[in-house]
Structure 1
Amino acid sequence: MNKCVAKARLALLITLGLGLNLSLSAHADIVLHGQLKQGGLLWGELPAGSSVKLDGRALNIADNGVFVFGFDRDAKPISHLEICGADGECEKQVLNIAQREYDIQRITGVPQQTVTPPASVLARIRKEAALVSKARQQEFPRQDFTQTFNWPVLGPITGVFGSQRVYNGSPGRPHYGLDIAAPTGSKVVAPIDGVVTLAHPDMFYSGGTLIIDHGMGVSSTFIHLSRVLVEVGQQVKQGDAIAEVGATGRATGPHLDWRMNWAGQRLDPALVIGPMPTAE
């Protein structure tokens, strides 16, 4: 039987871009990468024969011990990580998820037809949502998310993860992406390696839409594109041109909306990437 240590003996330190030790008293030290906060993506490695659970949910572990998990925009303040070694001994850690304050805008007097799409396009919206869901549910045994991310395009940040608008008193969907303003036609490059799981020229809400899978449930979505330059099933390398910036779908101006997901959790791209390079 597994022996669960009721009192955590893990010293958990996590930071963006640096590997710090998750010290296990009975097992080898583990290095984690990422930010322990709402919208954060984290990954690490475990010794052979180990298993890990997040809030009671078993996480996939690759043959080389790599595992990954993340926290949604509205993740609760407390989560629980349990790691079991090949010897059956388990250790638990309470994870304190940093809570964030999001920009909430309240707008009144907006015409209802602007807020609610007409009934004539509802079937189209449902069909496109199903395509996106299917693409994100694919899971490849890749570990591209362990790479250092690069910016897919450079420009002013005009929208941030988690912001939300309340129209005429009714909350709209939160914004789950990172908006980067750039002229129409600007090249969008792959921030890390991956395989294309969706390439659509024009969806109702998101316009030109591209999804790239980075492995083990981690994916990037790029929307409002004027052109998609890759095809489903194509493998891309970091820095490859994959699309062009546009203002398609429900967009008010040309920009790239970059989103990330892990296993149904919506993540913040800003937490996996460093500062944007300054123009030379």
Structure 2
Amino acid sequence: MVIRLLAALALVAAGGARAATIDGEVRQGRLVFGHAERWEEIRYDGRVLHVAPDGGFVLGIGRDAAGELAIEVRDDKDKVTTLRRPILTQDWDIQRIDGLPDKKVNPDPETQERIKWERSRIQAARQADRAAFDWQAGFRWPATGRISGIYGSQRILNGQPRQPHLGLDVAVPTGTPIKAAAAGRVTLAAGDLYFTGGTVIIDHGAGVQTLYAHLSRVDVSEGQAVTAGQTIALSGATGRVTGPHLHFGLAWYGLQLDPAPYLPKAD
């Protein structure tokens, strides 16, 4: 036993062994968590991942990802190995929404230019790349109410198929306080975007962000640090909606994921 322990300690000191791990299963639309040793560099999809002081790292798997996850692990001897896991698939629901104004379903050319500019602004906010790890503390509900829309569902607007719904909708009355799901820094605070109306994005470090949309009032500003549970806005029915609710999103460097698995179970 003593000999095996000494041999293991010598191997750790040398650095050359692959010790990085992936925690749990890998599913479409989910975050993937793992741990690395101090001498290891973790790469995924061409990006060097931020690793927390305790070795934790995180990445995202898109809704339509297929095949296997492959993470490169480089040790201090420049030896590269690969962690591989199969990507488990999900079944997605179909939702039909009728009665929307036609201009909201088929915007005119001028509005298309506005949409393009707003998307570039959102994309810039989603590329925040801080070596911060607020995501490790977990997430809380930004508001509680009936779940009126789920992640991954395919929406058909006025009979026309649209992109999947990439968030969680919580039906709450206009004026309901909206809380930060975790501590972080505000990267977007917009009062009136075409699709999402009043919108806030909070960066929680290492590429993890949450989004809060259709807000009637925004109470934070870009660059502001917020704490978990802090009121950041009031809910509303702004943007492209059929009624008041909060659209709550989770993303990893802009790759939109399902927030539901990371929220406390409803009472």
Q: If the TM-score is normalised by the length of the shorter chain, which range does it land in?
A: 0.7 to 0.9
Task: Check the 8 A contact 1:48/1:86 in 2, yes or no.
Answer: no
RMSD of aligned residue pairs (Cα, Å): 2.4
* Residue among 192, 195, 219 paired with 2:185: 195
What TM-score, normalized by structure 2, do the two folds share?
0.85
* Map of 1:229 onto structure 2: 219
Task: Please tell me whether residue 69 in structure 1 is matched to residue 59 in structure 2.
Answer: yes
Aligned-residue offset at 1:106: 5.9
* Map of 1:17 onto structure 2: none
Task: Check the 8 A contact 2:50/2:131 in 1, yes or no.
Answer: no
**SS of residue in 2 equivalent to 1:130:** helix
How many residue pairs match? The answer is 251
Task: Please tell me whether residue 53 in structure 1 is matched to residue 53 in structure 2.
Answer: no
Aligned-residue offset at 1:30: 4.2
**SS of residue in 1 equivalent to 2:27:** coil
* Map of 2:91 onto structure 1: 101
Q: 2:129, 2:219 → 1: CA distance? A: 22
Q: Give the AA of the match of 1:176.
A: L
Name stretches of at least 5 consecutive residues in structure 1 with no aligned partner: 1-24
Kindly tell me: are residues 62 and 266 of structure 1, through their superposed partners in 2, closer, same or farther at Cα, counting changes over 3 Å? same
How do 1:134-213 and structure 2 match up within 5 A? 134-167=124-157, 170-213=160-203
How do 1:8-157 and structure 2 match up within 5 A? 26-28=17-19, 30=21, 32=23, 36-54=26-44, 57-62=46-51, 64=53, 65-105=55-95, 113-157=103-147
More helix by share: 2
Q: 1:53, 1:31 → 2: CA distance? A: 13
What TM-score, normalized by structure 1, do the two folds share?
0.81
Aligned-residue offset at 1:110: 8.1
Task: Check the 8 A contact 1:59/1:68 in 2, yes or no.
Answer: no
Q: 1:122, 1:37 → 2: CA distance? A: 34
Q: Deviations over 1:38-97 (max 9, x none)?
A: 111123331112022335x34323362432211011111322223233344444332111
More moved, 37-46 vs 200-209: 37-46
* Map of 1:263 onto structure 2: 253
Aligned-residue offset at 1:174: 1.1
Name stretches of at least 5 consecutive residues in structure 2 with no aligned partner: 1-15
**SS of residue in 2 equivalent to 1:219:** strand
Q: 1:237, 1:186 → 2: CA distance? A: 18
